[in-house]
Chain A
Amino acid sequence: MGTFKVGALVFDIGSYSVRAGYAGEDCPKADFPTVIGVTLDREDGSTPMETDGDKGKQSGTTYYIDTNQLRVPRENMEVMSPLKNGMKLMFEHYNIPAFFLCKSAVLSAFANGRSTGLVLDSGATHTTAIPVHDGYVLQQGIVKSPLAGDFMSMQCRELFQELSVEIIPPYMIASKDSVREGSPASWKKKEKLPQVTRSWHNYMCNCVIQDFQASVLQVSDSPYDEQVAAQMPTVHYELPNGYNCDFGAERLKIPEGLFDPSNAKGLSGNTMLGVGHVVTTSVGMCDIDIRPGLYGSVVVTGGNTLIQGFTDRLNRELSQKTPPSMRLKLIANNTTVERRFSAWIGGSILASLGTFQQMWISKQEYEEGGKQCVDRKCP
C-alpha cells in the first residue's frame, strides 16, 4: 500500500483571514489576515492598508502579507482553492499542473462527515445559510445576511463611544498604570511614533475591538430580557490602555442583534433576517423531500459562531420554528481550530482522497476548454 495522494496545496480565502496549507494535514499551516499592505512611495516607509484582498487587481506593486509561511516549489504542486477568482492567475502565472475549485460550504460539510446538510457560515462579513445536497450546493436556497462579525464590531465600537472610552491600540502605548474600575485610563504615549495612515490605525483599533468581542460577548439563551440580563454575571475586561470595566447587560445586548435585528441600532429598516430566520428561509426554499435531511445535519461554521452561547440559542430558535416531528441536529465542533478552518479541512480531506484524482482540472483541460471547464467540473 502506498500513499496515493498527489502533493496538493489547499487555499481558503475568506474575508477575514486566509488559510493555506498542505493537503492531508489537519489544520492549515498559514493563517493570516486578508489584508494587504501596500507601501506608498513615501520617504518614511509607512504602510497604508488596502482593505480588500483581491490579488488580481494591480500586478505592478509588491504586496505584503503578515506572515508568509509557505515556501513551496511551484512547479509540481497542485492547488485547490475554495474560491472562484484567481484561476487564470494560477495557471498562467504560477504554472501549476492542476487546479480545482470547490465551494467552501461543501467542504465544511465534508469536514464534518456529511454530504448533505445545511451549512450555516457566520464569518466576518456575512452570515450565509447554504443547503448542500449530495455534495452539490443548491444555489437557489442560499440566503445571505450582512449581520456578522463586522456588524458586531461596529456595535461594540458604538458602545465604547457611548461610554466615551477611547480605543487605543497597543502600538501607541509606552506604559500604563493600573486604575480603578471604571475610571479613565492613565497611560503614556510612545514617543517617536512613525506617521501612520488612517487605515492602518483603524485596522489596529479593529484588532482591539475584535479581541473584546471574542472574550466578552455572549448570546443569551432566550430572547433578550432586561431583567434577566441584569442578573447575568458580569465579565471584567481591560483595554490595552488600562481602562477596565465590568460588562453586564451590554454583553448580551449586542449579540442579540444577530438573532433579533429589530432591536439592534444602526440598521436600515427591519428587513434584516435574524440567524434563525436565515436558516429556516433557506430550508424553506428547498424541495420538501430533502428538508428533513437538511434539518438533520445543520453544520455550524465560521469564526463568528464561536461567541459563547451562539449554538445553544440557535438550537432553541430552530426547534421552535420547525414542526415538532422534525429531527433537528446541530453539528458544531467545539474547538476553535475546527470551526474556523472547517472549509480548509474539508479541502484537505478532499484533496487527499484517492478517488479525487480524476476530478482535477489539468493544464491541458484548461487550455482546451477555458473557463467553461471550471463550471462543468467543479460543483
Chain B
Amino acid sequence: MGTGADVRDILELTGGENDGPISKKDLINSDKKKSKKTTETLTFKRPEGMHREVYALLYSDKKDAPPLLPSDTTQGYRTVKAKLGCKKVRPWKWMPFTNPARRDGAIFHHWRRVAEEGKDYPFARFNKTVQVPVYSEQEYQVHLHDDGWTKAETDHLFDLCKRFDLRFIVVHDRYDYQQYRKRSVEDLKERYYSICGKLTKVRAASGTEPKIYIFDAGHERRRKEQLEKLFNRTPEQVAEEEYLIQELRKIETRKKEREKKAQDLQKLIKAADTTTELRRAEKRVSKKKLPQKRETEKPAVPETAGIKFPDFKSAGVTLRSQRMKLPSSVGQKKNKAIEQILMEQGVDLNPMPTEEIVQMFNELRSDLVLLYELKQAHSNCEYEQQMLRHRYEALLKAGSGGGCGGITGAGLAAATQGGELNSTNSTLASTPGGDAQSWPSTDDIKVEAKEQIIDVVGAPLTPNSRKRRESASSSSSVKKVKKP
C-alpha cells in the first residue's frame, strides 16, 4: 500500500516535514484535533435501549439540534424490565377480616399482605344505597293517606323500593299481586313520588322552599301507550306511512316550485309596469327633474327583470364599448332573441358607442329581454290554462263529486289570472297606479288557485284523497309525540 509519503518520494516532491519516522507530534496533534472535535460538537448520547437506526433518525447530524426539547430518555423510552428478586419478600398471611358494609359482622378469611393488616376492607366504600324516605305512623295518618292505597300496601311498596334501589321495573315485577291489587309501573311511581314530595314539604324547615320532583303519571301513561302502538305496527302500516310521507314531500316541493314561479312572474310583471311607469315619468316631467325621480324610482326596479349591466367603477381608462358588452349571465336563448328582434327592426347589432347610444342601447336590450320573458310567461300560463280546462272537461264527464268544485274554482281562477296577464301584456298603456293597488287581491286569488291546483295535481283524484291527507298529517303528529 502506498502512503502519501511514498508517492511524494516517487514523484520527488518535497513534502516538508513529512520525512522521518512518525514522531509524537503527529500523534499528539491528532489527539488535539480529536479533542477539539469532541469539544466543538454537541454530542447527544444515545439513550440505552434505543436502536442505533432510530437514534440516527432523530439526530441525523451532529450539528442539528434535536427537534424536541431534550428530555431524559432513559426512563421513558425503553420497555422497563421488571427487576425481580431485588428486594426482600413481602409475606402474605391468611387473615380474618370484617367487612364494614355487612351488617352482621361476619368474619371471613382471605390472603393478605402482612403489611396491610388492620386496614379496612377497601371495597366497603362501594356500598352505596339509595336514600328511600322512611315515614312514621303519625306522618302517614296525617299527610300520606290515600284512598287507593292501604298502609300495608304502601309499606310493601317502600320495602321493595329499598330492596331494589328504586328500580321500578323490578319493583313492579316483584310486586305482590295476590295480596294487593295489580298496579302498573306508573301507579307505583306516582305513589312513591307523591309521598316523597309530601314528606319533603312537611319535613322542610319553615321558610325554605324545597325542590320537589313532580312525576307526571298521565304523561307517562300516554307516552307508553304511544310506544306500544308504535311497536306493534305491522310492516304494512310502516310501508303505508312511508308512502304517505313521500307523497307529502312531493306535494310540498311542487307547492314550492309553483310559489317560486308565481313570484318570478310577479317580479316580471312589476318590472314591466315600473319600466312603463318610468317611461311615462320621463315623458311627462322635464329633463331637470329627471335625475331626481330616477333616483327615487330606480330601487323599485327588480334586478331580475331585464339585464343588469355591470357598472365600471375601475379607476383609469376604460373603453366605452365595454359597457355595451352583454354580461355573461344572459343566456343563449335570450341572446338569440335579442339578435333576432334587432335584425328585424333593422338596428345595428353593434352600434357606435357614444355615451347616449350606449345608454339607450343597453336600455333597449334590457327591455327586449323583459319582453321576451313576459312572452314566455304568458305562453306558459296559456298552456296551463288549456290543460286545466281539458281536465275540467274530462272530470265533468267522469262526474266524480268531491274534486269537482275545487277544480272548477281552480280552472276559473287560472283563467282569470291568464286574463290578467293578457291585459297587462297587450296594452302597455295601463295605469300603473290602479294596477299596483289591485295586485294584492290578485295575489290572493293566485295563491288560492295555486293551492287548489296543487291539491288537484298532487294527490290521486279519488274520494280517498282527503282521508290520505288527514292520515298523513296525523302520522306526522305521531312522530312528534314519540320524541320524548
Chain A: residues with CB nearer than 8 A to chain B?
2-7, 76, 78, 97-98, 133-134, 136, 138-141, 286-291, 323-324, 354-355, 357-358, 360, 362-365, 368, 376
Contacts and interface: CB of A to CB of B under 8 A. Distances in A.
B238 A323 contact: yes
B164 A136 contact: yes
Nearest to B95: A2
A132 to B, nearest CB: 10
A138 B170 CA distance: 6
B29 to A, nearest CB: 63
A6 B110 contact: yes
B104 interface: yes
Nearest to A285: B173
Task: Identify whether the interface residues of A are mostly helix, strand, loop, or mixed.
Answer: mixed
Contacts of A363: 106
Interface in B148-190: 163-164, 167, 169-170, 172-174, 185
B36 interface: no
Scoring B92, B112, B127, B170 by chain A CB atoms within 10 A of each residue's CB, the highest score goes to B170
B312 interface: no
A360 B164 CA distance: 17
A358 B126 CA distance: 10
Contact of A288 (B101, B111, B116, B224): B224
B233 interface: yes
Interface string B113-133: 100100001111011000000
B236 to A, nearest CB: 13
A360 to B, nearest CB: 7
Nearest to B102: A358
Contacts of B167: 133-134, 136
B109 interface: yes
B99 interface: yes
B222 to A, nearest CB: 13
B6 interface: no
B231 interface: yes
B228 interface: yes
Given A357-B99, A360-B106, A4 B231 contact: no
Scoring A286, A290, A355 by chain B CB atoms within 10 A of each residue's CB, the highest score goes to A355
A2 B116 contact: yes
10 contacts: A5-B110, A97-B106, A98-B106, A136-B167, A138-B169, A138-B170, A289-B169, A355-B123, A360-B108, A368-B104
Interface residues of B, number: 36
A4 B108 contact: no
B341 interface: no
Nearest to B171: A136
A365 B104 contact: yes
Given A133-B170, A290-B169, A323-B233, A358 B127 contact: yes
A358 B99 contact: yes
A97 B169 contact: no
A72 to B, nearest CB: 15
A364 B103 CA distance: 11
Given A4-B123, A76-B109, A136-B164, 6 more contacts: A138-B170, A324-B235, A357-B121, A360-B108, A362-B104, A365-B106
B61 to A, nearest CB: 48
B173 A357 contact: no
A287 B170 contact: no
Contact of B101 (A138, A286, A291, A358): A358
Nearest to A365: B104
Contact of A364 (B106, B121, B122, B185): B106
Q: Which 6 A-B pairs have the closest CB atoms?
A: A354-B123, A362-B106, A358-B101, A136-B170, A138-B173, A2-B112
A166 to B, nearest CB: 50
Given A136-B164, A136-B170, A4 B224 contact: no
B461 to A, nearest CB: 32
Given A4-B121, A323-B233, A323-B238, A288 B109 contact: no
B254 to A, nearest CB: 29
A357 B109 CA distance: 11
A70 B3 CA distance: 86
Scoring A286, A358, A363 by chain B CB atoms within 10 A of each residue's CB, the highest score goes to A358
A376 B163 contact: yes
A355 B129 CA distance: 13
A288 B102 contact: no
B290 interface: no
A139 B111 contact: no
Contacts of B104: 362, 364-365, 368
Contact of A4 (B122, B163, B228): B122
A360 B122 CA distance: 17
Contacts of B230: 323
B227 A288 contact: yes
A284 B18 CA distance: 105
Interface in B206-231: 224, 227-228, 230-231
A363 B102 CA distance: 13
Contact of B173 (A139, A288, A354, A362): A139
Contacts of A3: 110-111
